């Protein structure tokens, strides 16, 4: 029987298996996530270096201006478990782009805030972006790189946290003294626009795979070790920001 008439002849492998994205493209996508983390943490830390100037300009006390940090923290804590649930049927690229848009809008509102309520509104948007981005970035990284490179990719993304933590406050303080506190948020806004552009062109389409639900979240919270770990994180982060915010 000829090859052209054999019904059981297998298709060539490259005809049924889609080609994997080029390695360079995967790492560009990881870089865009690292930029997102850097931009979020930078915006999160800026009030610590600008608090007194912000309070004086908005005619409020330092304590009232410090609620800009509280608003971000509280909303972020709620957004972290909520965003994956509410967006579980949407393409993950679209969700990450939407969260980065919130970061851009937050920085723009903060830079132009004429009152404390407007500033707090900006920080609420930042909290949504921060909680959602953090809760999804690790899972997306697992889909962008092979399993053997996941640790390297996550270390690269977390480097954005370290750089922002070290640089955001001193650079923000320097810019605030030189050009006013709003200039620091303008610079953060420029970084967020760059991040949005990078994500738009480098992140591939990522259709949802798993469908998280409240039952799974409830099962996790019923585990004693998980509750202890969450309490430890709350205490450490609360103490860190309570002291760090008012150091100026």
Measured between alpha carbons, how far is 246 from 201 in angstroms, rounded to an integer? 39
CA proximity to 151, closest of 40, 30, 8, 244: 30
Per-residue model confidence as pLDDT tens digits over 5-19: 444 444 444 434 344
Task: Establish if 206 belongs to a structural domain.
Answer: yes
**154 lies in some domain:** yes
**Looking at residues 55-75, what average pLDDT do you find?**
91
pLDDT for 211-237, tens place per residue? 666 777 777 778 888 888 888 887 887
Q: Which residue is it, tokens 């962008």?
A: 144
Please name the residues in contact with 54: beta carbons below 8 A apart, sequence gap of 6 or more: 47, 65, 68, 119, 181
Cα 141 to its chain centre, rounded Å, is 13
| Domain presence at residue 35 | yes
Percent of the chain with pLDDT over 70: 85
Instruction: Examine residue 28 and state whether it is found in any structural domain, yes or no.
Output: yes
CA neighbor of 101 nearest in space, from 81, 126, 83 = 126
The answer as to whether 221 is a domain residue is no
- At 102-125, the pLDDT tens digits run 999 999 999 999 999 999 999 999
How is residue 67 annotated by DSSP?
Answer: H
- pLDDT for res 247: 66
Give Cβ neighbours of residue 190 (< 8 Å, ≥ 6 apart). Answer: none
Could you tell me if residue 50 is inside a domain? yes
Q: Is residue 246 in some structural domain? A: no
100 or 9: which leads in pLDDT: 100
Please answer whether residues 191 and 38 qualify as being in contact, where contact means their C-beta atoms are separated by less than 8 angstroms: yes
pLDDT at 190: 96
The 10s digit of each residue's pLDDT in 159-187 is: 988 899 888 888 999 999 999 999 999 99
Output the domain CATH number for residue 120: 1.20.1250.20
Number of independent structural domains in the chain: 1
Cα–Cα dist 7/9, whole Å: 6
- Domain hosting 196: range is 22-212
């Amino acid at each position: 029987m000829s090859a052209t008439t054999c019904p059981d002849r297998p298709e060539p492998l490259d005809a049924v298996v889609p080609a994997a994205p080029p390695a360079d493209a995967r790492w560009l996508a990881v870089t865009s996530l690292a930029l997102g983390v850097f931009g979020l943490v930078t915006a999160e830390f800026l009030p610590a270096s600008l608090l007194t100037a912000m309070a004086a300009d908005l005619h409020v006390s330092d304590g009232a201006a410090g609620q800009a940090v509280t608003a971000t923290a509280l909303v972020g804590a709620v957004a972290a478990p909520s965003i994956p649930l509410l967006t579980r049927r949407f393409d993950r690229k679209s969700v990450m782009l939407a969260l980065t848009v919130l970061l851009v809008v937050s920085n723009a509102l903060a830079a132009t805030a004429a009152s404390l309520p407007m500033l707090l509104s900006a920080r609420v948007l930042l909290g949504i972006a921060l909680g959602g981005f953090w809760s999804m970035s690790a899972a997306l990284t697992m889909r962008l790189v092979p399993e053997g490179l996941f640790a390297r990719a996550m270390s690269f993304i977390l480097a954005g946290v370290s750089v922002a933590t070290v640089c955001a406050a001193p650079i923000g303080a320097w810019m605030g003294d030189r050009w006013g506190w709003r200039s620091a948020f303008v610079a953060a806004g420029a970084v967020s626009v760059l991040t949005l552009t990078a994500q738009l062109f480098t992140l591939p389409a990522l259709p949802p795979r798993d469908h998280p639900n409240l039952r799974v979240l409830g099962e996790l919270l019923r585990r004693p070790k998980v509750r202890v770990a969450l309490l430890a994180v709350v205490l450490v982060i609360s103490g860190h920001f309570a002291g760090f915010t008012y150091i100026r």
